[in-house]
A and B are shown apart, each in its own frame.
Chain A
Amino acid sequence: MGTLIEEIFSRKTGKPVQAGEILLLDVDYIMSHDNTTPLAIKAFREIGKPIFDKNRIVLHFDHAYPAPNVMAAENHKMIIEFVKEEGLPHFHRQGVCHQVMIEEGYITPGAIIIGADSHSNTYGALGAFGTGLGSTEIGVAWVTGKCWFKIPETIRIELTGKVMPGVYAKDVMLYIAGVMGMDGGTYRSIEFGGDYIESLPINERIVFSNMSTEIGAKCGLIAADDVTISYLNNETLAKGPFEPLGPVNPRYERVVEIDVSSITPQIACPHDVDNVKPLEEVEGLEINEVYIGTCTNARYEDLEIVAKMLKGKKVDPFTRVIVTSASDRIHKKAMKNGLIEILMDAGCTITGTGCGACIGRHGGILAAGERALTTMNRNFIGRMGSPLAEIYLASPATAAATALTGKITDPRKYL
């Protein structure tokens, strides 16, 4: 009985759990990546006790991989030595950690996953509890298998209606960020629901859970339904059987109702994710780099939207258009089905998979005075390189339309 977060924790503990309670609980998986693992190793060594269960530890190389500098290389070397030394079985370097976590089957409805990455909220799209923590807590969880949680109150975001052609989950989520503000969900569990969410495939639902972080939420949950179960069975290595999981007679702190049918393509403007405007207010602004990638919007369906719009055309000759698939699996499917060839023929630069340009270390760094339009989830000052560059966030369709003209362009012109 209760909100989705109360349901998940009640099932886990076998007794009714309510918002406000503090619990010490077993976690199913403990995730960290090349950026956050070194400090977790430090905390682990300081505690000086053995690992509780190697099977629950999942490590990724994605933030700065392949290493763009000596410091990153030293980090990778140190982590690989640790993985060998401890005999850790789950070590991945095949794309952005959050996408790989889903594909490899670590994320299932009702599971509890902690990650040393703020976008660990992503897992909520499959009815799992995912949240980001500091590295020290990850080291603690390696030793104990446990983590303490204060069960948060829930804000339900009820999304109804159908979006107009050319409008996608990303536009709706940016609109929500504009309405809620960067601290609108602080310490809350955000539950996304309504007939609009129910109508979406998993790749679009993920955008909401992923970007719940941008409104300060502890987690961004979506009920697991038939769509979730069929996705898990067909698109991931997760082993079932799975059952639907949703709120039961929930009591929400607040319900925010949004009709999606009037939402137009949206853009988050510099330098805050909640500085959101309808596209037409910034239409025509010159763009130096279009970056299509990240845990938010670089899934197969996103690449398909872009390829469809760029097929047989050429991108603007003075705009760098960079595409980084979220995972190797997505990239291989895109190659097999000819998407990568279409994108290359159109003049896009294709990189290896991973976090790419999103963290400003490699794969598309911006110069001072440059302006990027990207499918990422953050537009903070300096995130993609120079602090004097500007970052605009948008959907893959808006990114593709902008790639063709070199200016912020409404994708509805190319439908």
Chain B
Amino acid sequence: MGKAWTFGENLNTDEIIPGRFNITIDPLELAKNVFCEIKPEYAKNVKPGDIVVGGQNFGCGSSREHAPLAIKGSKAKCIIAPSYARIFFRNAINIGLPILECPDAVADIEEGNEVEVDLKSGKINNITKSQIYQARALPDFVLKIADAGGIVNFLKDHDIQELMA
């Protein structure tokens, strides 16, 4: 269970982590400044297992991998948004940050709601509002990458074919 942190539509990679902080690729370092321009209280108060709830076209802008790395470094469990920008979508999956698509949840969840997410089934339980929303279930291979902590780590111990097995 975690707390929901809500964000607007078309959130771009500079709003997730401004370019000037991208001198490191350490997720924990990046997490110190994640969302610093638009929601500075996030980095100070986020707890492991909290949920980032965004609007459509989440992560648009640059192809930089620093943006999903910064969110992952903040220990958020996952992102829920109606849609993601293309390269952000791939980068998030490849660095092992689970992302769910669920317009219903995004429309209803408010900042601070207690939310439980089952990544395997895509079931999102809003405990505060006693509401359940169903996201499209994540493909198995995405869960495998997330479990390994990213595709680079996955490949250290596995063959790529095992992703789809």
Q: How far is the CB of A411 from chain B (nearest CB, A)?
A: 33
Q: Which residue in B91, B94, B141, B160 is a CB contact (below 8 Å) of A144? A: B160
Which residues of B are found within 8 Å of A22, using beta-carbon distances? Answer: 139, 141
Residues of chain A with a CB closer than 8 A to B95's CB: 136
The complex places the Cα of A49 from the Cα of B157 at a distance, in Å, of 10
A134 with B86: CB separation less than 8 A = no
A132 is an interface residue with CB less than 8 A from chain B: yes
State A398–B72 Cα separation when bound (angstroms): 47
The interface residues of chain B lying within 8 Å CB-to-CB of A146 are 160
**Interface membership of A218, Cβ < 8 A:** yes
Return the chain B residue nearest A49 by Cβ: B155
Chain B residues in 8 Å Cβ range of A23: 164
Please determine whether A140 and B94 come into contact, CB atoms closer than 8 angstroms: yes
Size bracket, chain B contacts: 20 to 34
Interface membership of A133, Cβ < 8 A? yes
Task: Please state if B141 and A183 are interface contacts (CB–CB under 8 Å).
Answer: no
B65 and A136 contacting across the interface, CB-CB below 8 Å: yes
Please state if B94 and A134 are interface contacts (CB–CB under 8 Å).
yes
B63, B83, B139, B164: the one within 8 Å of A118 (CB): B63
Give which listed residue, B83, B85, B91, B163, contacts A148 with CB less than 8 A: B163
A52 CB, nearest partner CB in chain B, Å: 9
Q: Is A85's beta carbon under 8 Å from chain B?
A: no
Residue B6 at the chain A interface, CB threshold 8 Å: no
Q: List 28 A-B contacts (CB under 8 A).
A: A22-B139, A22-B141, A23-B164, A24-B141, A24-B164, A47-B156, A48-B156, A118-B87, A133-B90, A136-B91, A136-B152, A137-B90, A140-B151, A140-B152, A140-B160, A144-B160, A146-B160, A148-B141, A148-B164, A183-B57, A183-B60, A186-B60, A186-B83, A186-B85, A187-B86, A216-B60, A216-B86, A218-B86
Known: A132-B63, A134-B87, A140-B155. 6 other contacts (CB 8 A): A22-B139, A47-B152, A118-B87, A132-B87, A139-B152, A186-B83
Closest 10 CB pairs of A and B: A144-B160, A24-B164, A47-B155, A187-B86, A134-B91, A46-B152, A146-B160, A134-B65, A134-B63, A22-B139
